[in-house]
Every structure is written in structure tokens, then in C-alpha cells.
Chains A and B, each alone.
Chain A
Amino acid sequence: GENVEQHPSTLSVQEGDSAVIKCTYSDSASNYFPWYKQELGKGPQLIIDIRSNVGEKKDQRIAVTLNKTAKHFSLHITETQPEDSAVYFCAASINRDDKIIFGKGTRLHILP
């Protein structure tokens, strides 16, 4: 089955700098890659996603890139702000109604 690896597990970034989180997946059939933000005591919230027919997608300060050949995908957050501090999960799925396989998460700390 699908396996999603994520790193780093913890990331500390100075406010205003950029943060990058990287993931790999194992199943070439996966074609949907969401990123979730989880704040303390809450469920995962989708922040951005990318489909396999697209190499890059951007939404304001957040961008995702996908390299299908290498089975890598990354999350980039620019101009980080204190409210970006949270745990971020990458994930992969095969079909739109399929289960989502999560990475282990990255705890992002934005330092003042």
C-alpha cells in the first residue's frame, strides 16, 4: 500500500522567512496530494492540494510542487507569520473518494 514519508519532523523558522516541508510517496497510482494544517485541539484543515496533472500550485503565501517522476512533493510557505505555527501533514490519495494516507507531520515553529 501507499506510504508517505515527511521531513523534517520539526522546523523552526524566523518570522518573515520561508519554510519548506518535503514529502515522498511510494504508490505511483496516487494522483491527489493534499496538505493539512492541524492546530492544537482541532482536526486537520486542508490548506492546499495538488493533482498529479499539475506540477505546481500557488495560493497567496503557500505553494506546492509535485515531481511525479521522483515521487516527491513539497510545501513552501513564504513570509511566515506567527499564526503559521502548527503541525503540517502531507498526504496522498488515489481517487477522489479514496482514503487519505498521511505523513507523520511537521511541527512548524515561527520564531519572533
Chain B
Amino acid sequence: EPEVTQTPSHQVTQMGQEVILRCVPISNHLYFYWYRQILGQKVEFLVSFYNNEISEKSEIFDDQFSVERPDGSNFTLKIRSTKLEDSAMYFCASIDGLSYEQYFGPGTRLTVT
């Protein structure tokens, strides 16, 4: 069964550093999302991306965040200058646009020290 993959599984970085989280959505999917989950809390929407542009973003997704689909397969989330409160699990998701089901990747655990 096709699946969303994410790398790395765990990223440790120092406050103020830039990080790039990578996702490979399912190949025929058209809509892409990033969510985050702070430890023990709910999964929160960050941003949606369609047709090479942001469709919607939450108030969490400030100008420190950016997304990109640099080629036909990868979908990346960049945090320009990480803060301690950016520590969380980050999930990528994608859908084909025909069904409602969003497929989630296994997540990247980001730890900012």
C-alpha cells in the first residue's frame, strides 16, 4: 500500500538554527499538509499546499515557516530560526483530491535545545 514518508525521524537542533523537514507524499496526490503535535497535545494544522502555492495557513505558521515542493516528489517544511517552543512532532499528510482521506506520514520529532 502506498504511504507518506518523512525524514528524518528525529532531528535535534539548537535554538536559532534553521531546520528542513522532508516529506514524500503519495505519488498521485495533489494536496499536501503539515501538522504538528506538541507532546501530549492535539494535532494542529499548520499549512495546506496545492498547485504549488499555499492554500491556507494557521496563525502558528508565521514568517519563520515556509513550505516548498522543490521537485515532483518532495514536500518540505523549513523553520528559519527555531525556538524552544517549536519542539514537537511534525506530520506531513496528503490527499488525492477525489476522496476525503488524508494519509499521514510517521512524523519527524523535532527537538530544539
Contacts and interface: CB of A to CB of B under 8 A. Distances in A.
Interface of A: 32, 34, 36, 41-46, 49, 51, 89, 93, 96-105
Nearest to A4: B42
Interface of B: 4, 31, 33, 35, 41-45, 48, 50, 55-56, 58, 91, 93, 95, 97-107
Contact of B31 (A46, A49, A97, A102): A97
A89 B44 CA distance: 12
A99 B33 contact: yes
B106 A46 contact: no
Given A96-B95, A96-B97, A102-B44, A42 B102 contact: no
A42 B100 contact: no
Given A42-B107, A99-B45, 12 more contacts: A34-B101, A41-B106, A43-B105, A43-B107, A46-B103, A96-B99, A96-B100, A97-B95, A98-B56, A100-B33, A102-B44, A105-B42
Contacts of B58: 99
Given A43-B91, A97-B31, A99-B48, A104 B42 contact: yes
A91 to B, nearest CB: 8
Given A34-B100, A49-B100, A43 B42 contact: no
Nearest to B33: A99
B101 A49 contact: yes
A51 B35 CA distance: 22
A89 B43 contact: yes
